[in-house]
A and B are shown apart, each in its own frame.
Chain A
């Protein structure tokens, strides 16, 4: 029993970063842009939050966890918004190929994260590993009492605030996309910018906002990872391929945020399954780690049978819109 509870806790721990990334990417892809820069943006969000907290903790005698929390959230949001803005400017205003820009942004963002993650303490004149324990304590704080209730508490209330924020963000996005007029307009742009344009919707405005806000949500995934998962430290490439898993999760979720919630739990579970399946050799464990990607490929193939149009990628995904091209 307790092994199962730990497994669930671990799976959710893995899931949240991916969930943030996928939620942001869903918002972006719904506007018709395929942002392959999400992995980079998540690195940027993570390191910037960490740096914000680091400079805050170093600047005062008695750092307050809540202030560190706010500072790190703010810096993470600003950095990921900047990443989103670069992407938006190049793809929306300059109409450069989205894949090319996205991949470049990932190269840049991952380098940005690893460079500052590995160098920041040295640049700041210190030595050794960067660590922001005071701020991290605000992230890892659990609801007192509730979290220690057996089973129920351990499964549902054993997490820091970002975990709940991720789920709530996905739910809010789902409500926004499918139950508001603005969400309807946004989905129309992703499906057919020309039709949306004819209906009087401002393509530019919607696309920019969706891309920047989506990048900010994704960036929080990086922040979650360094603060809640790693407890306020950085290891180079520690974030690994979770950014690409987030892009994959969008496909698995069929571009619906609610699906991304359970999908992220599934991915998290698949990600650590190898630890919990008894009797696996090391080699089998490595093959087991392949599962999230294989599952995604299978979903991708199944959706291309075109059984149901709602489960397809947004029809305008990946194409720049230029009214004169009509």
Chain B
């Protein structure tokens, strides 16, 4: 109790256990609506156009033509993939904020194979090699902090964060050798003529293979988390180290194994970005998606359907914002502001899912 006063607060917050999934969805829905209103108000305030035309602009930007729809799908798939990749780690309460770095390492290996491997093997083999080696690269980048966490309890949040920037410098290093044209300090579109190492069109869709890979991994991870012994073990470790030791789970092994999986998926995300859409590599290949995906995974409570919905919503708003910015000749960082505002509202909503106001005096003990 604060001070010497015996005042009781008029209301207090209590943890609620009894919240149903329906109620939780209502709270989240209200947050989404509120964030939409605020976003529109912000955009309208900056551009001076009416909120209605802002919304129409957003819809046009995200879904206006088949090309835009494909971009929206592509971006949604990538964000979902990263969020899915982060899920095992977060379920284990391992704060992997190093997805950016894991993506970059995967992307870099993909670019390397595209550049050096194009003549070594047929295109289809090259794609397989790219996916496998990008997974390995992400795995290595993910397992380093895991080993230190397991054996020395080194803070993984800060470790993984720092590794992002080490990865960026490795990319910068690689760009020195790969830059095209010389002196541009960018890699440019790799194999734009031969398209070696590019994901092929699938089911007549530009990004069909991207979507397929993401769907397969999402299903596999969902099954892994819910049905496998390993998925169960990592959940126990996440809930309580003491219980894990009580049932003789090897906690160190689980931490390392889980981060191998998490890192590998983020590495594949790097391949999906580089081979599947941008066909180039730069330090902004991950583009903050490793961070956004953390929030996506966290807000979705690791439910894959929710992750899909949240990812799609974010990308929809981002693509819309980019379109509006272009319309008014503003720069497309507007989409980051929009993302930020939505994040704040949805994050805030989680609080009201977990706690409720209770009026009246505090009952003693």
Query: Which residues from B are CB-within-8-Å of A110?
Result: 288, 333, 336
- When the two chains form the complex, which single residue of B175, B329, B347 contacts A96, counting CB atoms closer than 8 Å? B347
A304 touching B294 in the complex, CB below 8 Å, given contacts A115-B331, A123-B46, A286-B169: no
The answer to whether residues A305 and B152 also contact, given A96-B348, A100-B298 and a CB cut-off of 8 A, is yes
A291, chain B: closest CB distance, angstroms: 9
| CB-CB contacts below 8 Å: A186-220 with B | 200, 202
A97–B350 Cα distance when bound, in Å, is 10
Cβ contacts under 8 Å, A118 to chain B: 330-331, 333
Contact B154 A111 (CB under 8 A): no
Q: CB-CB contacts of B59-71 with A at 8 A, as 1s and 0s?
A: 0000000000000
Minimal beta-carbon separation of A128 from chain B (angstroms): 13
Query: How far apart are the CA atoms of A278 and B355 in the complex, in Å?
Result: 60
Stretch touching chain B among A5-13, A162-170, A292-300: A292-300
Interface residues of B in 310-339 (CB under 8 A from A): 325, 329-331, 333-339
Q: How does the 8 Å CB contact mask read for B223-242 relative to A, with 1 for contact and 0 for none?
A: 00000000000000000000
Determine if B344 and A108 form an interchain contact, defined as CB atoms under 8 angstroms apart: yes
Using C-beta atoms within 8 Å of the partner chain, give the interface range for chain A. Answer: 35 or more
Chain A, 281-323, contact with B by CB distance < 8 Å: what is the 0/1 string? 1110011011001101100110011000000010000100000
**Is B37 in the interface zone, CB < 8 Å from A?**
no
Structural contact, B331 and A107, CB atoms closer than 8 A: no
Of A51-59, A139-147, A240-248, A253-261, the one with at least 4 CB within 8 A of chain B: A240-248
Residues from chain B with Cβ under 8 Å of A283 in the complex: 173, 176-177
Q: Which of B334, B336, B351 contacts A95 (CB 8 A)?
A: B351
Determine if A103 is an interface residue (Cβ-Cβ < 8 Å).
yes
Give the complex CA separation of A109 and B355 in angstroms.
28
Q: Tell me if A247 and B161 are in contact (CB < 8 A).
A: yes
- B169 contacts A289, CB within 8 Å? yes
B13 to chain A, nearest CB (A): 8
Is B165 in contact with A104, judged by CB distance below 8 angstroms?
A: no
Chain A min CB distance to B77 (Å): 20
Contacts A108-B339, A122-B329, A304-B155 given; indicate if A286 touches B351 (C-beta within 8 A). Answer: no
Known pairs A241-B168, A286-B169; A115 contacts B330 (CB<8 A): yes
B294 touches A293 (CB 8 A): no
Interface string of B169-182 (1 = CB under 8 A from A): 11011011100000
Q: How far is the CA of A64 from the CA of B172 in the complex (A)?
A: 43
Tell me if A304 and B291 are in contact (CB < 8 A): no
Contact A107 B173 (CB under 8 A): no
B199 to nearest A CB, angstroms? 28
Shortest Cβ distance from A197 into chain B, in angstroms?
A: 9
Q: Which residues of A sit under 8 angstroms from B2, Cβ to Cβ?
A: 200, 202
Question: Contacts A90-B347, A110-B336, A115-B334 given: A99-B97 contact, CB under 8 Å?
Answer: yes
Q: How far is the CA of A106 from the CA of B172 in the complex (A)?
A: 23
Measured between alpha carbons, how far is A237 from B163 in the docked complex, in Å? 20
Q: Select one of B15, B154, B335 contacting A300, CB under 8 A.
A: B154
Shortest beta-carbon contacts, A-B, top 9: A111-B336, A108-B340, A114-B333, A104-B343, A118-B331, A94-B351, A290-B169, A304-B154, A115-B333
Task: List 12 extra interface pairs beyond A107-B343, A123-B46, CB under 8 A.
Answer: A40-B340, A100-B294, A100-B295, A104-B344, A107-B292, A107-B340, A112-B340, A123-B330, A202-B3, A283-B177, A301-B148, A305-B152
What are 25 A-B residue pairs whose CB atoms fall within 8 Å in the complex?
A97-B298, A99-B95, A100-B347, A101-B347, A103-B295, A104-B347, A108-B337, A110-B288, A113-B333, A114-B331, A114-B336, A118-B330, A200-B3, A244-B161, A281-B176, A283-B176, A286-B175, A290-B170, A293-B163, A293-B166, A296-B162, A297-B166, A300-B155, A304-B148, A304-B153
Chain A: residues with CB nearer than 8 A to chain B? 34, 36, 40, 86, 90, 94-97, 99-101, 103-115, 118-119, 122-123, 200, 202, 236, 241, 244, 247-248, 251, 281-283, 286-287, 289-290, 293-294, 296-297, 300-301, 304-305, 313, 318, 324
